Amino acid sequence: MGIDPASKTVDIKQPLFNRRQLLQAGLLLGAAGGATIGLSQLWRSRGRSATVTIPPLPQEAMHHGSGISPLKILREFDYGTVTQENGRTVREFRVEAQTGELQLNKSTKFITWNLNGRVPGPTFRATEGDRIRVIFYNKAGHSHSLHFHGTHPAAMDGVKPVRNGNVFIYEFDAEPYGVHLYHCHVAPVTRHIGKGLYGMFIIDPPQPRPPADEMVLIMAGYDTNNDNKNELYAFNGLPHAYMHQPIPIQQNQLIRLYVLNLIEFDPVATFHLHANLFRVNPTGRLLEPSYETDVITMGTAERHILEFSFKETGKFMFHPHQDAIAEAGCMGYFDVISGLPS
């Protein structure tokens, strides 16, 4: 993998995402691909057979002007490079901390500290019991780190800063299954998270959850004038992104949302879905959702799996029910497309 322990450098020129990872994320078929993307390949590889139908994405979704594409981030899962070592599965992830400018809206530019050039960082995904190896290369210009939620040894807790230009390799077992997160843990952490150094970490149970159109929604805030308050908010990095480009989903198909509240400064954020109810699986720690509602309340870093399907076609909003947060960017639409029988 090109690591020279003496110099503590790593060759990061190889592609961050290989063909297989993109296939697993269902993204290689392109924006103009047919209405049906066969995720059956993914499920067959896990010993299941099922097909999930993902409506075509708008052409511009793949080339967003701001440098990141929330529609792409939504369904993009990084399964790492898989090898077998001493009889067990090892998933190796490569992640690079960078500094870059993000156009948050027509009038606001924001300097981000980000991972692999995106906010939020990659959604790492593993199966419980895998060995996780994260090669973290800090090229952002400041000290940063990666602190993962879940369980691991103290030496892998990610609270020790990794200086600019250095590499640290985090290695631990993926447990327990559920929906977790990771973020930079260098002080002041609020600032390091607020500038974009965070992402989701999904650990699947040994027996996979039923097939569904799976998506990641991470709520975050932007303190654009350093007054310790958020002026803008976003799902998956860009304010109002899913208002401008609603998320196409299929009528009568199971949707599984991995939702995380990573808004700093505001103590809680709610999540509300219009014209429907969803089933809640707290922290993804259950094999089945446990209750049904249409609004949940999450403190910072709380996360859940939400499951639902829409019977009706049309555009339906989702947003925190604190309207000030929603109106400042944390708002979007599902665009329910007809086609699947109930």
Residue 303 binds to Cu ion (criterion: CB under 5 A): no
Closest separation between CB of residue 269 and Cu ion, Å?
Answer: 22
DSSP 3-state assignment of 97?
strand
d(CA 224, CA 109) in angstroms, rounded, equals 8
Q: Choose the binding region for Cu ion from 169-177, 190-198, 212-220, 228-236 (rule: CB under 5 A).
A: 190-198
DSSP 3-state assignment of 124?
strand
Residues contacting Cu ion: total by CB under 5 A: 5
Among 94, 118, 144, 183, binds Cu ion (CB under 5 A): 144
Q: Site map for Cu ion, 115-134, x if CB under 5 A?
A: --------------------
Measured from the CB atom, the residue of 185 and 304 that comes closer to Cu ion is: 185
φ, ψ dihedrals at 190, nearest 5°: -55, -40
d(CA 22, CA 15) in angstroms, rounded, equals 12
Closest separation between CB of residue 221 and Cu ion, Å?
Answer: 16
Q: Which of 83, 91, 114 is nearest to 101 (CA)?
A: 114
Q: Choose the binding region for Cu ion from 191-199, 228-236, 290-298, 317-325 (rule: CB under 5 A).
A: 191-199
Measured from the CB atom, the residue of 140 and 259 that comes closer to Cu ion is: 140
Measured from the CB atom, the residue of 184 and 298 that comes closer to Cu ion is: 184
Measured from the CB atom, the residue of 191 and 244 that comes closer to Cu ion is: 191
Measured from the CB atom, the residue of 27 and 197 that comes closer to Cu ion is: 197
Q: Which of 204, 47, 211, 210 is nearest to 129 (CA)?
A: 204
Residue 95 binds to Cu ion (criterion: CB under 5 A): no
Please identify which residue in the block is written with the tokens 């609270």.
159
Q: Choose the binding region for Cu ion from 38-46, 181-189, 229-237, 273-281 (rule: CB under 5 A).
A: 181-189
The CB density around residue 293, as the number of other CB atoms within 10 Å, is: 13
Measured from the CB atom, the residue of 52 and 181 that comes closer to Cu ion is: 181
3-state helix, strand, coil in the chain (%, to 5): 10, 40, 50
Q: Choose the binding region for Cu ion from 188-196, 204-212, 296-304, 305-313 (rule: CB under 5 A).
A: 188-196
Residue 121 Cα distances to 23, 193, 228, 284, 342, angstroms: 19, 11, 22, 20, 36
Among 25, 68, 184, 217, binds Cu ion (CB under 5 A): 184
Among 192, 303, 304, 319, binds Cu ion (CB under 5 A): 192
Q: Choose the binding region for Cu ion from 43-51, 127-135, 144-152, 256-264 (rule: CB under 5 A).
A: 144-152
Burial of 282: CB neighbours in 10 Å, binned 0-12, 13-18, 19+? middle
Closest separation between CB of residue 187 and Cu ion, Å?
Answer: 9
Residue 162 binds to Cu ion (criterion: CB under 5 A): no
Q: Choose the binding region for Cu ion from 120-128, 136-144, 266-274, 305-313 (rule: CB under 5 A).
A: 136-144
Asked if 331 and 309 touch (Cβ cutoff 8 Å), the reply is no
Please identify which residue in the block is written with the tokens 């892998």.
156
Residue 186 binds to Cu ion (criterion: CB under 5 A): yes
Measured from the CB atom, the residue of 197 and 220 that comes closer to Cu ion is: 197
d(CA 316, CA 335) in angstroms, rounded, equals 7
d(CA 28, CA 113) in angstroms, rounded, equals 28
Q: Site map for Cu ion, 193-222, x if CB under 5 A?
A: ----x-------------------------
The CB density around residue 330, as the number of other CB atoms within 10 Å, is: 28
- Which positions touch Cu ion (CB under 5 A)? 144, 184, 186, 192, 197
